[in-house]
């Protein structure tokens, strides 16, 4: 059976987006191509007239885009889909050149988020992110440039099994300070690699012009489809670029559908480190944007908020066929079984009986199957942006996501049939 175009498009979206800043740039390019205009938080006036299409970016890593409904937000509210642009990874320290060891130059790394560390060993790792340089002209102004080096540049080599005999019984234990530095060059004694010099050459700028960076390692191997009948997607960053792609595609698909409510997509950075940042889901970003789109008084904004429904989309744990013991059998969604509704009675997800009913109804109307996830009662539950956004803004919502395996691995896995189903439901 031919696979849906949305699944192939998901692979392109992910491969184009090795970092949160690239993910935002990928979204921007697609929005602009479809007629969305960029506005800035420094602008005085924004408009949310019927059919208006615009977006705003905060600090490169978070983006909010909207399409005005036929009625103003005070009367018809917002229909919001939220997701996150970041994924766990390894990041390059500000002074990365370490003393040469065994003739090799290594780069000092930090972990970002809950990295499944063992999966990052023995990979072909490129470097991507943003580098900040001084802008020409007077005064202190800087500009950030996206960087992406696709060549295999770094590697965190495993210890041979002969030198770590117990590894298959005890698991791979890596000390984040001493075992993670990435090999990236041979270096004679005294030459410590010169990462900044290399970076300057890549960017074709003077080394002294580089004032800062946010640089990540990523697997240079492109995403693939696998399985006998290509049932599976093998890709990095499915958590949560899978949901970003679905949200963006759903927004772009809202052609002049005559909807009364304003359609809005909010993609936040920093979920993997708790969302508490100036551009994370716990920030003022979404509230600020809504206040400007509503205009008017505090009462107008409160009126609009009372008419919001948020779909917070983040990938869900699928039933692992080799580890059935970690699941609640009645609430263990399957790959390729459709979107998952996530609930938790202690508000790790922003779903309750009423909001879940809305989502189930929406799925039924769209002809999309709906699966359920509840964590085992004797296990701790993960969380995501849904509880944070609904709590801070006082709005209604649900947490959903497509089922997947290997969450937070450098190479994750989901079903190839689920992406179009989520897009349709959204
Ligand atoms: Zn996530």
Q: What is the pLDDT of residue 8?
A: 97
> What distance in angstroms lies between residue 18's CA and the mean position of ligand 1's atoms?
15
Q: What is the pLDDT of residue 187?
A: 84
Does residue 292 come out as left (phi exceeding 0), alpha (psi in the -120 to 50 range) or beta?
Answer: alpha
> What distance in angstroms lies between residue 82's CA and the mean position of ligand 1's atoms?
11
Q: In what order do the strands lie in the sheet with 403-405?
A: 224-226, 232-235, 412-415, 403-405, 316-317
Model confidence band, residue 191 (pLDDT cutoffs 50, 70, 90): low
Cα distances (Å, whole numbers) of residue 343 to 114, 164, 256, 389, 414: 22, 42, 33, 16, 20
Q: What is the pLDDT of residue 190?
A: 61
> What distance in angstroms lies between residue 314's CA and the mean position of ligand 1's atoms?
5
> What distance in angstroms lies between residue 156's CA and the mean position of ligand 1's atoms?
24
Q: What is the pLDDT of residue 61?
A: 98
> What distance in angstroms lies between residue 196's CA and the mean position of ligand 1's atoms?
32
Average pLDDT over residues 57-67: 98
Q: What is the pLDDT of residues 286-322, one digit of tens each?
A: 999 999 999 989 999 999 999 999 999 999 999 999 9
> What distance in angstroms lies between residue 114's CA and the mean position of ligand 1's atoms?
10
> What distance in angstroms lies between residue 373's CA and the mean position of ligand 1's atoms?
15
Q: Please say if the pLDDT value at position 192 is more than 70.
A: no
> What distance in angstroms lies between residue 346's CA and the mean position of ligand 1's atoms?
19
Share of the chain above pLDDT 90, in %: 92
**The model scores a pTM over 0.95:** yes
Q: Please say if the pLDDT value at position 44 is more than 80.
A: yes
Q: What is the pLDDT of residue 298?
A: 94
Q: Range with the lowest mean pLDDT among 25-34, 44-53, 316-325?
A: 44-53
> What distance in angstroms lies between residue 339's CA and the mean position of ligand 1's atoms?
15
Average pLDDT over residues 50-63: 96
Nearest Cα neighbor of 388 from 290, 298, 275 is 275
Residue 289 CB contacts under 8 Å (≥ 6 apart), including other chains: 56, 64, 66, 264, 266
> What distance in angstroms lies between residue 270's CA and the mean position of ligand 1's atoms?
10
Q: Please say if the pLDDT value at position 407 is more than 70.
A: yes
Q: What is the pLDDT of residues 78-98, one digit of tens each?
A: 999 999 999 999 999 999 999
Q: What is the pLDDT of residues 130-178, one digit of tens each?
A: 999 988 777 888 999 999 999 999 999 999 999 999 999 999 999 999 9
> What distance in angstroms lies between residue 86's CA and the mean position of ligand 1's atoms?
8
> What distance in angstroms lies between residue 210's CA and the mean position of ligand 1's atoms?
32
Please, what is the Cα angle at 381 between 380 and 387, to 5 degrees?
140
> What distance in angstroms lies between residue 35's CA and the mean position of ligand 1's atoms?
29
Q: What is the pLDDT of residue 137?
A: 77
Model confidence band, residue 257 (pLDDT cutoffs 50, 70, 90): confident
Q: Count other C-beta atoms under 10 Å from residue 196's C-beta.
A: 16
Share of the chain above pLDDT 70, in %: 98
> What distance in angstroms lies between residue 164's CA and the mean position of ligand 1's atoms?
33
> What distance in angstroms lies between residue 407's CA and the mean position of ligand 1's atoms?
8
> What distance in angstroms lies between residue 137's CA and the mean position of ligand 1's atoms?
41
> What distance in angstroms lies between residue 240's CA and the mean position of ligand 1's atoms?
5
> What distance in angstroms lies between residue 85's CA and the mean position of ligand 1's atoms?
9
- Which H or E run contains 200? helix 195-203
Q: How far apart are CA 63 and CA 256, in angstroms?
A: 22
Question: How is residue 342 written in tokens?
Answer: 């996530």
> What distance in angstroms lies between residue 75's CA and the mean position of ligand 1's atoms?
32
- Residue 20, Cα to own-chain centre: how many angstroms? 7
Cα distances (Å, whole numbers) of residue 114 to 176, 233, 282, 285, 410: 12, 22, 19, 24, 11
Residue 249 CB contacts under 8 Å (≥ 6 apart), including other chains: 6, 9, 423
Q: In what order do the strands lie in the sheet with 104-112?
A: 142-154, 125-134, 210-219, 89-97, 104-112, 182-186
> What distance in angstroms lies between residue 256's CA and the mean position of ligand 1's atoms?
31
> What distance in angstroms lies between residue 353's CA and the mean position of ligand 1's atoms?
23
């Amino acid at each position: 059976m031919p696979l849906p175009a949305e699944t192939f498009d998901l692979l392109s979206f992910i491969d184009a987006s090795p970092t949160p800043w690239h993910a935002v740039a990928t979204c921007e390019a697609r929005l602009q191509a479809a007629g969305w205009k960029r506005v800035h938080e420094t602008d005085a006036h924004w408009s949310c007239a019927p059919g208006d299409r615009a977006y705003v970016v905060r600090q490169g890593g978070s983006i909010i885009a909207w399409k005005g409904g036929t009625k103003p937000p005070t009367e018809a509210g917002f229909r919001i889909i939220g997701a996150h642009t970041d994924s766990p990874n390894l990041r390059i320290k500000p002074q990365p050149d370490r003393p040469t060891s065994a003739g090799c130059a290594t780069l000092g790394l930090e972990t970002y988020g809950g990295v499944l560390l063992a999966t990052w060993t023995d990979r072909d790792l490129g470097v991507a992110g943003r580098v900040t340089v001084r802008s020409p002209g007077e005064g202190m102004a800087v500009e950030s440039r996206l960087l992406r080096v696709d060549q295999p540049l770094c590697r965190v080599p495993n210890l041979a099994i002969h030198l770590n005999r117990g590894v298959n019984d005890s698991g791979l234990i890596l000390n984040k300070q001493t075992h993670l530095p990435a090999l990236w060059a041979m270096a004679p004694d005294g030459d410590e690699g010169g990462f900044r010099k290399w970076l300057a050459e890549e960017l074709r700028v003077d080394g002294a012009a580089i004032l800062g960076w946010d640089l990540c390692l990523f697997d240079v191997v492109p995403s693939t489809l696998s399985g006998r009948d290509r049932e599976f997607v093998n890709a990095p960053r499915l958590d949560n670029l899978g949901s970003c792609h679905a949200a963006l595609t759903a927004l772009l698909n809202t052609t002049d559908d005559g909807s009364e409510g304003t359609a809005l997509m909010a993609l936040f950075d920093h979920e993997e480190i708790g969302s508490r940042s100036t551009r994370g889901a716990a920030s003022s970003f979404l509230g600020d944007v809504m206040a400007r789109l509503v205009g008017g008084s505090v009462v107008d904004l409160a009126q609009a908020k009372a008419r919001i429904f948020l779909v917070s989309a983040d990938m869900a744990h699928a039933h692992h066929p080799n580890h059935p013991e970690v699941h609640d059998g009645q609430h263990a969604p399957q790959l390729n079984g459709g979107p998952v509704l996530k609930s938790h009675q202690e508000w790790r997800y922003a779903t309750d009986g009423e909001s879940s009913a809305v989502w189930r109804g929406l799925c039924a109307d769209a002809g999309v199957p709906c699966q359920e996830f509840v964590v085992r009662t004797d296990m701790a539950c993960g969380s995501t942006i849904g509880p944070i956004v609904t709590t801070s803004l006082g709005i209604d919502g649900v947490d959903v996501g497509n089922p997947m395996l290997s969450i937070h691995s450098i190479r994750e896995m989901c079903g190839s049939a689920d992406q179009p189903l989520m897009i349709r439901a959204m």
